[in-house]
Amino acid sequence: MKNFEDVLDKAQSGNVDAMDELIYQYYPMIKSIVYKYGKKVDKEELKEYLILKFIENTKMFRKKY
């Protein structure tokens, strides 16, 4: 991944490519959550929900300076 803070700034500004890069980097974590809880819920639905929550929370993320 490129400099995390640069990618985050671009993603928060609405850059779709930067958001895709963040999602790509954190997708293994999303998959592990789906694997853990996927037996109780629809796996695709859970994956979509987690990605949407990731996007929403990324917009609110504040960096430490």
Domain range annotation of the chain: 22-65
| pLDDT tens-digit map of 12-63 | 999 999 999 999 999 999 999 888 876 778 888 989 999 999 999 887 877 6
Contact between residue 11 and residue 2 where contact means Cβ atoms under 8 Å apart: no
Contact between residue 33 and residue 50 where contact means Cβ atoms under 8 Å apart: yes
CA distance 47 to 45: 5
With a threshold of 0.85, does the pTM exceed it? no
Side-chain-side CA neighbours of residue 52 (13 Å): 6
